Structure 1
Amino acid sequence: MLIKTPKASVISESQVTDESAYNRRRDIIKSMGFVGASALLSSTPARASFFGNDDAETFKTEKLNFSASSKKAATKLTPEEKIISHNNFYEFGTGKSDPVENAQQFKVNPWRLSIEGLAEKPFTLDYDDLFKQFPLEERIYRLRCVEAWSMVVPWIGFSLASLIKKAKPLSSAKYVAFETLYDPEQMPGQRSRFAGGGINYPYIEGLRIDEAMHPLTLLSVGLYGKTLPAQNGAPIRLVVPWKYGFKSIKSITRIRLTDKRPPTSWNQLAANEYGFYANVNPNVDHPRWSQASERRISGAGLFSRNRIDTKMFNGYEEVAALYQGMDLRKHF
């Protein structure tokens, strides 16, 4: 008899959020006195009067054509209104609700994403290329924040490896550096270090090239069947599901292949708290809190205290070979 043991990275229905709360989302939000997040879910976006500007419409998302996830049995996801209203995107403010309030006039078209550096064929993608150059697929990933909360998100995008291969990296390329749009007029958090949480902008991140080329590493252009909302990193963001969420840089305009380890924003700000690798590791605490468990943001209530044990590499054990022989307490 063949007994098949599923990988921990396969998300079962028991691991994700009860769908009933998602189906009742508008009633829940209304009962709590909130109107903005639920309004964003309608087919016609809410007017910007919610954000203090009656003359402009809020950011609009569009439906995407994509291949459905092969793990579609896991349908009970973190409710959409929580994914789009509970965000860390300091370019639009340091509070969890600041991005959804401050990003609604963000312009993503036209857009230019350059792939450059140590490559035979550097190139640039425009806005339409982000959705047409590579086949789009849905991937249901867990997202674990360094702040010890987590979500389950149905991302839509394409493998970062496919983009890197198109550029034909040189053998000397050992790392991949990423950079967020720098536009203080649109991004109020970039106007001063105080407004943006002490970060030097533009926001920068980096991966080793073998991490970047891993099949799990995704460039996301959408979630829940639509293009990304502005507050979630439109029009394109990185998703590295075995690393803490701050590695998944948003609104990317530049990807550079390099032979040197690139600096990263949070590591520059507090190297003792935010390592370059940022692999999810329940055995290495943040200096100010434990990483042994996490609060799963779910459909159990707006302020759910549903805590679960955190898994090594966020449960994606297939990446462990990338770090063979490394002391993951030292290289955190």
Structure 2
Amino acid sequence: MAHTPYPRPSPDEITPRSVWLSRRTLLAGVTMGVASRLVPRARAETLHARPGPFQAAEKPTPLSDVTHYNNFYEFGLDKGDPAALSASFAARPWTLSVEGLVARPRVWDIDQLIAAMPIEERLYRMRCVEAWSMVIPWDGFPLSSLLAQAEPLGSARYVAFESVVRPAQMPGQRGGLDSLGWPYVEGLRLDEAMHPLTLLAVGLYGETLPNQNGAPVRLVVPWKYGFKGIKSITRIRLVEKQPPTTWNQMNADEYGFFANVNPEVDHPRWSQASERVIGAGGFLGGGRKKTLMFNGYGEQVAGLYGTMDLRRNY
């Protein structure tokens, strides 16, 4: 695919980092009992991240919304359950294995991995299949950096991801959406995984990733619907055949393997032509705006799908 420039906002569109971080000060004014219960941050540490090359033009979604409105069914079905019920989840110690069709399989300690990788700040638009969106300042490193160290073999065509299973710490695994099955699994085509936009996030807003947002490491693929962003990853495998994915197995008519944002293909139960912007009009409020093809990242990723029928491969 020919090189295309990545969009950069004008200076007046960039929210200063000091303003991002000051939102935590605002949160401190909330009743301390509520804040400590809903935003588990006991292990939060500042990440020394360099500015990354990819920055959405929109203002970031407030931290309080990013950490209070989540889909993380291992902790419960309601949007507030992950924040309210994840305080006891232990994100350290943690290992992440890279295996399968690679020349150099390895098991990483998460903190050694963070120290070894180029941590970047990236402000990404994120689009959920339930027709809501956020703009989140992620801190992480390109998935391609990790996969390159593993040296994929020529037979590798896909990348499979697997999340943690800890029913003692994750109440949703003890009786939440049982039909999902555990562990949660996801997958990408290898060229998607190696695309420079694809990120393994280890933090947001300059601090280590909160439990409710997928601590200690999660996938971020900004041109795809949010259910592709598997959280609390423990295992990455390179494989030859398309791997199973949790939501595609549960209901393939609603959740395709590719999960590319395509406003011309509606979810069977609602339209995807527009989206509600979380945080744009007060807590969990926000108006609606037109949904963009590939979530606005078409210039960068459309070439990955040039020969595909994007109505069938949704």
State the TM-score, normalized to the length of structure 1. Answer: 0.85
Structure 1 residue 127 displacement after superposition: 2.4
Partner of 2:232: 251
Q: Distance in 2 between matches of 1:28 and 1:234?
A: 22
Q: Distance in 1 between matches of 2:9 and 2:263?
A: 19
Partner of 1:269: 250
Mapped pair 1:290 → 2:271: yes
Of 128, 136, 139, the match for 2:111: 128
Q: Which amino acid aligns with 2:76?
A: G
Q: Distance in 1 between matches of 2:11 and 2:267?
A: 30
The alignment covers a number of residue pairs equal to 307
Stretches of structure 2 that go unaligned for 5 or more consecutive residues are none
Structure 1 residue 28 displacement after superposition: 12
User: After the TM superposition, which residues 109-148 of structure 1 pair with which residues of structure 2 at under 5 Å, given as runs?
Assistant: 109-148=92-131
Instruction: Name the SS for the 2:74 alignment partner.
Output: helix
User: After the TM superposition, which residues 80-229 of structure 1 pair with which residues of structure 2 at under 5 Å, given as runs?
Assistant: 80-192=63-175, 195-196=176-177, 198-229=179-210
Q: Is the 8 A contact 2:69 2:79 kept in 1?
A: yes
In structure 2, relative to structure 1, the CA distance for the partners of 1:224 and 1:28 (3 Å cut) is closer
Q: Is the 8 A contact 1:59 1:229 kept in 2?
A: no
Q: Distance in 2 between matches of 1:63 and 1:265?
A: 33
Q: Which amino acid aligns with 2:159?
A: V
Structure 1 residue 137 displacement after superposition: 0.6
**Taking every aligned residue pair, what percent have the same amino acid on both sides?**
56
Q: Is the 8 A contact 2:98 2:237 kept in 1?
A: yes
Q: Distance in 2 between matches of 1:196 and 1:169?
A: 34
Output one character per residue of 1:118-175: Cα deviation in whole Å (capped at 9) or x when no partner: 0100001112123112110111100000001000111000000011110001000000
Name the Cα RMSD after superposition.
2.8
Q: Is the 8 A contact 1:130 1:221 kept in 2?
A: no
Of 262, 270, 293, the match for 1:312: 293
In structure 2, relative to structure 1, the CA distance for the partners of 1:269 and 1:286 (3 Å cut) is same
Q: Which amino acid aligns with 1:204?
A: V
Mapped pair 1:278 → 2:255: no
In structure 2, relative to structure 1, the CA distance for the partners of 1:289 and 1:99 (3 Å cut) is same
Partner of 1:43: none
Q: Distance in 2 between matches of 1:116 and 1:101?
A: 34
Structure 1 residue 292 displacement after superposition: 0.4
Q: Which amino acid aligns with 1:122?
A: P
In structure 2, relative to structure 1, the CA distance for the partners of 1:63 and 1:167 (3 Å cut) is same
Q: Distance in 1 between matches of 2:88 and 2:250?
A: 29
Q: Distance in 1 between matches of 2:27 and 2:214?
A: 27
Instruction: Name the SS for the 1:132 alignment partner.
Output: helix
State the TM-score, normalized to the length of structure 2. Answer: 0.89
Q: Is the 8 A contact 1:94 1:197 kept in 2?
A: no
Q: Is the 8 A contact 1:205 1:249 kept in 2?
A: yes
Output one character per residue of 1:244-295: Cα deviation in whole Å (capped at 9) or x when no partner: 0000100000000000100000011111000000000000000000000101
Structure 1 residue 302 displacement after superposition: 1.4
Q: Distance in 1 between matches of 2:222 and 2:169?
A: 28
Q: Which amino acid aligns with 1:330?
A: R
Instruction: Name the SS for the 2:276 alignment partner.
Output: strand
